[in-house]
Amino acid sequence: MAKKKKLNKNWLHDHINDPYVKMATNAGYRARAAFKLKEIAEPEGLLKPGIKVVDLGSAPGSWSQVLREALVGPGGVINGRIIALDLLPMEPIAGVEFIQGDFRDDAVLEDLNQRLGGEKLDLVVSDMAPNLSGVAAADSARIEHVCELAIEFALNHLKPNGALIVKIFHGSSYSNVVHQMKQVFKSVSPRKPKASRDRSRETFLLCKGLK
C-alpha cells in the first residue's frame, strides 16, 4: 500500500510539473495528448479544412479539439466532418458528432457505418488503449486486438490516399502489428512525439496510402 501511495504521489508531482499539462491548460485542451496528435499530423499536412475524420478512443476529447481547430472556418462553421467514438462519455464539442459505445461491438460499428453512409474518410486517428492487467501475454493480445480493429476499420473506410494514426505499445505484439500494417498500407512509420512521456511504452504508427 505504501509503495502504491508513493507511485501515486510521484505521478501527481510529475503531472503537475509537466510542461505539456500546463500548455494544454493554457490552450484550453482537455488533455496533454492534444500535442501528440499535433506533433504527428501537422508536419504531414494531415490536418486541413474539408477532411472527413473518425476519432477512435476520443474521450476526454483533446484529439477531437485539435481536429476541430483544423476544420473550423469563418463564423465557427466546420468545413469537413468529425465523428468521435469512445466507451466513456465525452463532454460535447461543437461540430463533433459523438458515439458512446464499445468499438468492439457490432451494434456500435453499425451505428458508425450508418452515420458515414458510405462516405470515405481522409483520416482515422486512434488513441484507443485496452485496460491492461499487468500480465504481459494477455496485455499484448489485447493491444494487438485493438490495433487490428483500427486497421480493419481503416481498410474499410479510408480513401485510397487516406491515413491512419494508431497508438501501440512496445511489447511482444509490436512487430506483428507493424507487419499487419505493412500488408495494408504503402507507408508505415513509427512516431514518438515529445509530448509522450519518456518512460511510457506507447508509440504511434503513422500509416499512409492503402495498397
Report the binding-site residues: 61, 63, 86, 102, 127
- Is 38 a known active-site residue? no
Picking from 130, 138, 134, 121, the residue whose alpha carbon sits closest to that of residue 167 is 130
Preceding peptide of 19 cis, ω within 30° = no
Residue identified by cell 499512409 is: 208
38, 167, 194, 208: the active-site residue? 167
Binding residue ranges for S-adenosyl-L-methionine:
61, 63, 86, 102, 127
- In DSSP notation, 29-42 reads -SSTTHHHHHHHHG
- From CA 6, how far away is CA 10, in angstroms rounded? 6
Q: What are phi and psi of 178, to 5 degrees?
A: -60, -40
Measured CA distances, 145 to 8, 142, 176, 180 (Å): 29, 5, 11, 12
d(CA 41, CA 55): 13
Please tell me whether residue 69 adopts helix, strand or coil conformation.
Answer: helix
| Residue 83, beta-bridge partner list | 54, 97
| Positions marked catalytic | 167
